[in-house]
A and B are shown apart, each in its own frame.
Chain A
């Protein structure tokens, strides 16, 4: 298939793999974090780690939008969905995320009207078609999805669709990366930077990571060769004793980002003073809320939202996994109490979550898999 096959070429991968191996200094171990859940998914889907030397390991970061939603926020969303005449709409990944009292699926089975949509604009359609209902869109995601939510709010305001609102859970990537950089457990050699987020914010916001923390970062695309090339670029920087922000995904990511997208976000949303992240706790100025001008479309002001806070289960080590301190399988409940069909932590819910990706795609030791697939 065009625009896909050329980024999955096994021959090119072998060449890159050899060049990465040639850059490894003897006795040194390299640890890179891919910030974005989309990268984690690509790495497992294509079996990319087979191309990396054993001394190069990838650590899965906090950039999965579903994985960072705390249980209390989901309980709040279900509380909204249970109010009279409400249709809650959400992306499919959210349906199975467990809250303190169950998931959207469970709430649906108990009588709430919660529907899956592929775009916030689909929620608008539902609002237009159901003028006697109150339609709420559960908005989640980083800067990647915030512009489409913002455009939807603007459209709703322009059309005076008073029965449409958003339950805003948009978060921003930089504070999360800062939280990881400030973690005392950090032992990373560099970052594979998020590709889609960077199409909106550009590469400049990452410059402090190289400048102040001495870690190189390469913004990467989502095809397997993109990621392999990014690892090569990071290794090259380390070999040349450079520490910079580089853009591997230049075919999509402009260095200065997308000013129009940033403008619509700024027009409709403002930073919250603080927001709770699953596993990472409260982080200041790390999330967005609807601006006063669009209060008519802000579910948090229209409905009484209980503001529930649910403690992460004691056994759940999502936080350590999100920060890259633990490998998924090192978590105490991985694969026993916490599985993709009965997830306790959100890392196990979304296919982009580090634990689900590991469980589904990498659950067996490399040696045995290699032996089995030898032709």
Chain B
């Protein structure tokens, strides 16, 4: 260690600035700080309550992107992604359709109610057990339409290919897109191709956009969730994320699991037929089930209580998560959705899901309650309780 260690320390200017900003925005901070140490017994509890309220105020602040550059965390589907979308994209593009921030925009053209969505795919590796980037790109867009209550009609396909990419690999990817489209009853009606220099891309990226028609009179929206509602998942969670993670071969773990990538148009239609009052459907992609339920809690100003023992997770996925220190609630699926339905319809919803091959593992995993608003609580298998927050950081990069 050099002698400069003992010299005058530098300041972390960014941290001092963050503190000043927080104090300016939340003037109570300083006063509460001064009170520290003087509180005892019951006062402690009220002070804890004050701190919790202070946090809620801080969380309700307008999101900002402070980082001077984009980092991988901005693409992870958690808080950083939400901040980026809110502070940069929504701010610039603001309009009523976008503001709803749903999986697909709801549009009306003449008398026709449409749903319109887009998604890009950068999964690595391109081929993994149970699927490949092509199948993912079709199913992902089909699913965004399906969980919006729409019947998928047509999709587009844009390719960004890297110089040197094997043509045979492209043929494989395109063939699986064709069969996925046929299975989902959609046609790929337009497209685009770009080739970038070697080293400027990672083989093959795909963008798809899709249009569906909203024939049902349903309005699926997270804001519709009410205390008492039941929360279901359509099958075991986390298969896709863990499969891709293991397929990269960076971890010396082998497990007998395959991606759950699948088109959800049939099973979501079956659910909406059985339960027209369904409040919300969301496919549990990046950020997993936990992220969706956090959105439900925040938007509906209610709490979500999950029962860990009821959440279906395959033992292989659970085991990999234990080893990697990841919570399956945050791991992406590509063929599962979360449904919120009125309590009286929970049985009917479960029966409808169980009847479809993709819904054999469906389960009621929790319910909506009134208080504390905006929070997702988990009753652990062990018998305790904890909060399930939105994902921070990037445990599983580039899984879709």
Q: Is the CB of A368 within 8 A of B372?
A: yes
Residue A46 at the chain B interface, CB threshold 8 Å: yes
Per-residue 0/1 for B1-24: is the Cβ within 8 Å of any A Cβ (1 yes, 0 no)? 111111101111011101101110
Assess the B387–A363 pair: CB atoms within 8 A.
yes
With the chains together, A110 CA to B380 CA distance in Å? 41
Q: Does B100 contact A (CB under 8 A)?
A: no
A51 and B384 within 8 A (CB): yes
Q: Tell me whether A130 is interfacial, beta carbon within 8 Å.
A: no
B10–A100 CB distance below 8 A: yes
Instruction: Say if the beta carbon of B198 comes within 8 Å of chain A.
Output: no
Question: How many angstroms between the C-alpha atoms of A311 and B371 in the bound complex?
Answer: 41
Chain A interface size, as a band, is 35 or more
Q: A299-332 interface mask toward B, CB cutoff 8 Å, 1 = contact, 0 = none?
A: 0100001111111111110000000001001101
Q: Mark A325-347, 1 if CB is under 8 A from B, else 0.
A: 01001101111111111101000
Interface SS of B by simple majority: mixed
B22 x A365 contact (CB < 8 A): no
Are B58 and A118 in touch, CB under 8 angstroms? no
* Residues from chain B with Cβ under 8 Å of A45 in the complex: 327, 380, 386
The answer to whether A118 and B250 touch across the interface, beta carbons within 8 angstroms, is yes
With beta carbons under 8 angstroms apart, the residue of B3, B26, B371 that contacts A372 is B371
Contact A368 B18 (CB under 8 A): no
Partner of B80, one of A44, A337, A341: A341
B107-139 contact mask (Cβ, 8 Å, vs A): 1 or 0: 000000000000000000000000000000000
How distant is the Cα of A98 from the Cα of B66 in the complex, in angstroms?
13
CA distance A8 to B308 in the complex (A): 12
Please give the distance in Å from B24's CB to the nearest CB on chain A. 10
Q: Is B54 an interface residue (CB 8 A)?
A: yes
Chain B residues, CB < 8 A from A105:
71-73
Contact flag A118-B251 (CB < 8 Å), given A45-B380, A307-B1, A309-B7: yes
Whether B382 contacts A224 by the Cβ 8 Å rule is yes
A369: Cβ under 8 A from any B Cβ: yes
Given contacts A106-B67, A106-B71, whether A44 and B382 have CB atoms under 8 Å apart is no
Stretch in B89-97, B157-165, B218-226, B314-322 touching the partner: B314-322
Cβ of A46 and Cβ of B318 under 8 Å apart?
no
- Report if A362-B10 is in contact (Cβ < 8 Å); known contacts: A307-B1, A342-B18: no
Contact call B16/A313, Cβ cutoff below 8 A:
yes
Interface segment out of the listed B43-51, B180-188, B280-288: B43-51
- Residue B361 interfacial (CB < 8 Å): no
Name which residue of chain A comes closest to B372, CB basis: A368
Q: Is the CB of A336 within 8 A of B55?
A: yes
**Are A71 and B22 in contact (CB-based, < 8 A)?**
no
Q: Is the CB of B71 within 8 A of A14?
A: no
Which of A44, A308, A338, A363 has the most B CB atoms < 10 Å from its CB?
A363
A309 CA / B67 CA spacing, docked (Å):
23
Contact (Cβ within 8 A) A92 B395: yes
A96 to chain B: which residues have CB within 8 Å? 73, 393
Q: Which B residues lie within 8 Å of A312 (CB)?
A: 12
Q: How far is the CA of A48 from the CA of B386 in the complex (A)?
A: 9
For A34, what are the chain B residues with a Cβ–Cβ distance below 8 Å?
none
A333 to B16, CA, bound (A): 11
B79 touches A (CB below 8 Å): yes
**Bound-state Cα–Cα, A71 to B250, Å:** 29
Assess whether B369 is interfacial by the CB under 8 Å rule: yes
Interface contact B1-A4, CB-CB below 8 Å? no
Do B4 and A306 touch across chains, with their CB atoms under 8 A apart? yes
The CA of A265 and the CA of B15, in the complex, are separated in Å by: 36
Q: Binary interface profile of B, 36-77, with partner A (CB < 8 Å = 1, else 0)?
A: 100000000100110110110010000000111111110000
Q: Could you say which residues of chain A place their CB within 8 Å of the CB of B48?
A: 329, 365
B71 contacts A51, C-beta separation under 8 Å:
no
CB distance from B376 to the nearest CB of A (A): 10
A102 at the interface (CB under 8 A from B): yes
Contacts of A100 in B (CB 8 A): 10-12
Indicate whether A370 reaches chain B with its CB closer than 8 angstroms.
yes
Question: Is B264 an interface position by the 8 A CB rule?
Answer: no
Contacts of A360 in B (CB 8 A): 386-387, 389
Whether B384 pairs with A339 at a CB distance below 8 angstroms is: no
Residues in A neighbouring B378, C-beta threshold 8 A: 47
Chain A neighbourhood of B325, CB < 8 A: 351
| B392 contacts the other chain (CB 8 A) | yes
Q: Which chain A residues lie closer than 8 Å to B21 at the CB level?
A: 337
B389:A359 contact, CB within 8 angstroms: yes
CA distance A45 to B329 in the complex (A): 12
Indicate if B357 sits at the interface (CB-CB under 8 A). no
| B173 on interface, CB distance cutoff 8 Å | no
- Establish whether residues B9 and A109, one from each chain, have CB atoms under 8 Å apart when the complex forms: no
Q: Using Cβ atoms and an 8 Å threshold, which residues of chain B touch A315?
A: 15-16, 19
A106 B371 Cβ-Cβ under 8 A: no
Minimum CB distance partner of A273 in chain B: B1
A308 to B393, CA, bound (A): 26
Chain B residues near A351 (CB, 8 Å)? 325
User: From residue B170, how far is it (CB to closest CB) to chain A in Å?
Assistant: 26
Are the CB atoms of A337 and B18 closer together than 8 Å?
A: yes
In the assembled complex, B209 has its CB within 8 A of some CB on chain A: no
The distance in angstroms between the C-alpha atoms of A16 and B81, with both chains bound, is 43
CB distance from B340 to the nearest CB of A (A): 17
**Least Cβ distance of A161 to chain B in Å?**
19
Q: List 5 A–B pairs whose Cβ atoms lie within 8 Å, in order of A's numbering.
A: A108-B72, A109-B69, A276-B5, A329-B48, A335-B55
Interface residues of B (CB under 8 A from A): 1-7, 9-12, 14-16, 18-19, 21-23, 25-26, 29-30, 32-33, 36, 45, 48-49, 51-52, 54-55, 58, 66-73, 79-80, 83, 250-251, 303, 305, 315, 318-319, 322, 325, 327, 369, 371-372, 375, 377-387, 389, 392-395
